[in-house]
Structure 1
Amino acid sequence: MTVHARIGEVTERIVRRSADSRARYIERMEKQIEKGPRRAKMGCANLAHGFAACGPSDKAQLADDVVPNLGIITAYNDMLSAHQPYERFPDLIRAAAREVGAVAQVAGGVPAMCDGVTQGALGMEMSLFSRDVIAMAAAVGLSHDMFDAAVYLGVCDKIIPGLAIAAATFGHIPAVFIPGGPMTTGIGNDEKSKVRQLYAEGKVGRAELLASESAAYHGPGTCTFYGTANSNQMLMEIMGLHLPGSTFVNPNTPLRDALTREAAKRALAISAEGNAFTPIGRVLDEKAIVNGVVGLNATGGSTNHTMHLIAMAKAAGIKLTWDDFSDLSDVVPLIARVYPNGLADVNHFHAAGGMGFLIGALLDAGLLHEDVSTVWGTGLNGYRVEPKLNDDGSLRWVEATRTSHDDKVLRPASDPFQPTGGLKVLKGNLGRSVIKISAVKADRHVIEAPAKIFHSQEALQKAFKAGELDQDFVAVIRFQGPQANGMPELHKLTPPLGVLQDRGFKVALVTDGRMSGASGKVPAAIHVTPEAKDGGPIAKVREGDIIRLDANAGTLEVLVSDVEWAARTAVTEDLSDNEWGMGRELFASFRKVVGAAEDGASVFG
Structure 2
Amino acid sequence: MPGQPHSQTLNPTVAEVTRRIARRSAKRRARYEARMAEQHARGVHRATLSCGNVAHGVAACGSIDKNALKLMNAANIGIISAYNDMLSAHQPLTTFPETIKAAAQRMGSTAQFAAGVPAMCDGVTQGQPGMELSLFSRDVIAMSAAVGLSHNMFDAALYLGVCDKIVPGLFIAAARFGHLPAMFVPAGPMESGLPNKEKARIRQLYAEGRVGRDALLEAESASYHSPGTCTFYGTANANQLMMEMMGLHLPGTSFINPGTPLREALTAFAAEQAIRNSEPGGEYRPFYRQIDERAIVNAAVGLLASGGSTNHTLHLVAMAAAAGITLTWDDFTALSAVTPSLTRIYPNGEADVNHFHAAGGMGYLFRELLGAGLLHGDIPTVFGTDLTAYTREPRLKNGELTWEEGATQSGDVSVLRGVAEPFAPTGGLTVLDGNLGRGVIKTSAVAPEHRVIEAPVRVFHEQEELKAAFDAGELDRDVIAVMRFQGPQANGMPELHQLTPILGVQQDRGFKVALVTDGRMSGASGKVPAAIHITPEALDGGPLARLRNGDVVRLDANAGTLEAHISPAEMAARPVSKGTHLADHHSGLGRELFSGFRRLAGPGELGASVFGGFEDDDQ
Question: What TM-score bracket applies, with the shorter chain setting the length?
Answer: over 0.9
Aligned partners of 1:60, 1:276: CA distance in 2, in Å? Answer: 23
Q: Which residue of 1 aligns with 2:466?
A: 460
582-591 or 461-470: bigger deviation: 461-470
Aligned partners of 1:387, 1:456: CA distance in 2, in Å? Answer: 48
Aligned partners of 1:458, 1:248: CA distance in 2, in Å? Answer: 36
**What amino acid does structure 1 have at the position aligned with 2:234?**
G
With the length of structure 1 as denominator, give the TM-score of the two structures: 0.99
Q: Which residue of 2 aligns with 1:407?
A: 413
Q: Does 1:185 align with 2:192?
A: yes
Q: Does 1:432 align with 2:448?
A: no
Contact preservation (8 Å) 1:453, 1:475: yes
Match of 1:239 among 246, 262, 278: 246
Q: Which residue of 1 aligns with 2:212?
A: 205
1:202-260, Cα deviation, whole Å (9 max, x unpaired): 00000000000000000000000000000000000011000000000000000000000
1:506-558, Cα deviation, whole Å (9 max, x unpaired): 00000000002112000000000000000000111110000000001100000
Q: Secondary structure at the match of 2:440?
A: strand
Q: Which residue of 1 aligns with 2:170?
A: 163
Q: Does 1:4 align with 2:34?
A: no
Aligned partners of 2:284, 2:51: CA distance in 1, in Å? Answer: 28
Q: Which residue of 1 aligns with 2:541?
A: 535
- Per-residue deviation, 1:66: 2.1
Aligned partners of 2:573, 2:408: CA distance in 1, in Å? Answer: 59
Q: Secondary structure at the match of 1:18?
A: helix
The correspondence of residues 75-154 of structure 1 with structure 2, limited to 5 A, is 75-154=82-161
Match of 1:482 among 488, 493, 503: 488
Aligned partners of 2:371, 2:70: CA distance in 1, in Å? Answer: 50
Contact preservation (8 Å) 1:385, 1:397: yes
Aligned partners of 1:89, 1:50: CA distance in 2, in Å? Answer: 21
Q: Which residue of 1 aligns with 2:615?
A: none
Aligned partners of 2:353, 2:238: CA distance in 1, in Å? Answer: 10
In structure 1, stretches of 5+ residues that fail to align are: none
Q: Which residue of 2 aligns with 1:584?
A: 591
Q: Does 1:312 align with 2:310?
A: no
Match of 2:344 among 330, 337, 341: 337
Q: Which residue of 1 aligns with 2:3?
A: none
Match of 2:270 among 263, 271, 284: 263
- Per-residue deviation, 1:564: 1.6
Aligned partners of 2:53, 2:245: CA distance in 1, in Å? Answer: 39
Runs of at least 4 residues off by over 6 Å: none
Contact preservation (8 Å) 1:434, 1:526: yes
Aligned partners of 1:97, 1:238: CA distance in 2, in Å? Answer: 26
More RCO (CA 8 Å, sep 6+): 2
**What amino acid does structure 1 have at the position aligned with 2:568?**
D
Q: Which residue of 1 aligns with 2:557?
A: 551
Aligned partners of 2:321, 2:275: CA distance in 1, in Å? Answer: 27
Q: Secondary structure at the match of 2:597?
A: helix
Aligned partners of 1:73, 1:270: CA distance in 2, in Å? Answer: 17
Contact preservation (8 Å) 1:93, 1:104: yes
Q: Secondary structure at the match of 1:513?
A: coil
Aligned partners of 2:380, 2:40: CA distance in 1, in Å? Answer: 17
Q: Which residue of 1 aligns with 2:616?
A: none
Q: Does 1:31 align with 2:33?
A: no
- Per-residue deviation, 1:561: 2.2
1:317-351, Cα deviation, whole Å (9 max, x unpaired): 00000000011001101001100000000000000
- Per-residue deviation, 1:267: 0.6
Aligned partners of 1:448, 1:247: CA distance in 2, in Å? Answer: 41
Q: Does 1:601 align with 2:608?
A: yes
Match of 2:361 among 328, 331, 354: 354
Contact preservation (8 Å) 1:370, 1:380: yes
1:387-443, Cα deviation, whole Å (9 max, x unpaired): 00011x110100011100000000001110001001100000000000000000001
- Per-residue deviation, 1:167: 0.1
**What amino acid does structure 2 have at the position aligned with 1:207?**
D
**What amino acid does structure 1 have at the position aligned with 2:471?**
K
560-569 or 226-235: bigger deviation: 560-569
Q: Which residue of 2 aligns with 1:298?
A: 305
Aligned partners of 1:67, 1:43: CA distance in 2, in Å? Answer: 17
Contact preservation (8 Å) 2:73, 2:280: no
Aligned partners of 1:475, 1:553: CA distance in 2, in Å? Answer: 20
Contact preservation (8 Å) 2:46, 2:152: yes
Q: Does 1:517 align with 2:506?
A: no
Aligned partners of 1:552, 1:118: CA distance in 2, in Å? Answer: 33
Q: Which residue of 2 aligns with 1:498?
A: 504
Q: Does 1:53 align with 2:60?
A: yes
Aligned partners of 2:423, 2:496: CA distance in 1, in Å? Answer: 27
**What amino acid does structure 1 have at the position aligned with 2:556?**
D
- Per-residue deviation, 1:277: 1.1
Q: Secondary structure at the match of 1:483?
A: helix
Aligned partners of 1:182, 1:506: CA distance in 2, in Å? Answer: 36
Aligned partners of 2:313, 2:63: CA distance in 1, in Å? Answer: 48
**What amino acid does structure 2 have at the position aligned with 1:333?**
P
Match of 2:80 among 73, 76, 86: 73
1:352-375, Cα deviation, whole Å (9 max, x unpaired): 000000011001111101010110
Aligned partners of 2:45, 2:283: CA distance in 1, in Å? Answer: 21
**What amino acid does structure 1 have at the position aligned with 2:441?**
I
Q: What CA RMSD, in Å, does the superposition of the two structures yield over aligned residues?
A: 0.7
Q: Does 1:397 align with 2:403?
A: yes
**What amino acid does structure 2 have at the position aligned with 1:137?**
S
267-276 or 589-598: bigger deviation: 267-276
Contact preservation (8 Å) 2:342, 2:416: yes
1:429-484, Cα deviation, whole Å (9 max, x unpaired): 00000000000000111000000010011110111112211100000000000000
Number of aligned residues: 604
- Per-residue deviation, 1:82: 0.3
Match of 1:377 among 371, 384, 405: 384
Q: Secondary structure at the match of 2:449?
A: helix
Match of 1:562 among 556, 559, 568: 568
Aligned partners of 1:73, 1:547: CA distance in 2, in Å? Answer: 47
- Per-residue deviation, 1:578: 1.2
In structure 2, stretches of 5+ residues that fail to align are: 1-6, 613-619
Aligned partners of 2:10, 2:45: CA distance in 1, in Å? Answer: 42
**What amino acid does structure 2 have at the position aligned with 1:426?**
L
525-534 or 37-46: bigger deviation: 37-46
Q: Secondary structure at the match of 1:504?
A: coil
- Per-residue deviation, 1:186: 0.2
- Per-residue deviation, 1:38: 4.7
**What amino acid does structure 2 have at the position aligned with 1:121?**
Q
Contact preservation (8 Å) 1:69, 1:103: yes
- Per-residue deviation, 1:69: 0.3
Q: Which residue of 2 aligns with 1:21?
A: 28
- Per-residue deviation, 1:275: 2.8
Aligned partners of 1:308, 1:573: CA distance in 2, in Å? Answer: 26
Q: Secondary structure at the match of 2:498?
A: helix
Aligned partners of 1:524, 1:495: CA distance in 2, in Å? Answer: 13
Contact preservation (8 Å) 1:276, 1:377: no
Q: Secondary structure at the match of 1:491?
A: coil
Sequence identity (%): 65
Contact preservation (8 Å) 2:42, 2:48: no
Aligned partners of 1:382, 1:15: CA distance in 2, in Å? Answer: 26
